[in-house]
Amino acid sequence: MLIVISPAKSLDFSVQTNIKTNSVPPFLNDSNTLVNELIKFHPEDLSKLMNISAKLAELNYERFIKWHLPFTNENAKPALFVFKGDVYQSLDIQSLNEEDVLFANQNLRILSGLYGVLKPLDLIQEYRLEMGTKLGNPHGKNLYEFWGDKITGEINKAIKQSSGEKVLINLASNEYFKSIQKRKLNYEVITPVFKDYKNGQYKIISFYAKKARGLMSRFIIQNRIEKAEEIKAFNLADYHYNEELSKDKEWVFTR
């Protein structure tokens, strides 16, 4: 069983980890191609391309200029430890033990605009590049066209190598999950959806949904869940499986 999640915009490269089982992303040459396109942009152009402030554009311009191969333990850090968005705060990798982390490394993948697909322990250098960015490149006019079916192929391989039932648990945002070509995916997809009761009805509230995706990832990792049906027992943060609102491949959890 394989989980996919989105990356985070916020990063913390000051983090320390004792995990020594690091690896490099599978598509670093492709990442290098993208960086070579991105360094052609001046900061003010990056600001428009990425829809970010001038300050953030300057920061990311500097990141792309510094980005270089090869990746080592000195110039890069494992992905799951440096992402710091809402999903990752709830997943709280630093509080998991080494066996948890190794289980995650086999059964979880992070989708990335720059790196394509990341294992939790794949080394990365600092970056920001959202999958929806309309960056012209040698393969097309955006990152979906750039990656083509490469991400899908890597996900197929990861599911085949994962432990337990061969199924994909989609805990990524729509923006990132679109990078997987479902018609070329060899396995079933289950998408958990998290809804809160507000103003008389259940609604997806983005902030809480992101937190819940992290909590479910943690739940699967800590409990070594290898069958999709078992995630229906998820009950963290007062969420519970709602059979009435759920569909065949879209499982709704409410609170």
Q: Which of 52, 103, 111, 60 is nearest to 220 (CA)?
A: 103
Positive or negative: CA dihedral 102, 104, 106, 109: negative
CA distance 13 to 244: 43
Residue entry with tokens 């709602």: 242
Whole-number CA gyration radius for the chain = 18
Residue 39, number of CB atoms within 10 A of its CB? 13
Each residue's pLDDT, cut to its tens digit, for the chain (255 residues) gives 999 999 999 999 998 887 878 999 999 999 999 999 999 999 999 999 999 999 999 999 999 999 999 999 999 999 999 999 999 999 999 999 999 999 999 999 999 999 999 999 999 999 999 999 999 999 999 999 999 999 999 999 999 999 999 999 999 999 999 999 999 999 999 999 999 999 999 999 999 999 999 999 999 999 999 999 999 999 999 999 999 999 999 999 999
Q: Which of 114, 142, 137 is nearest to 28 (CA)?
A: 114
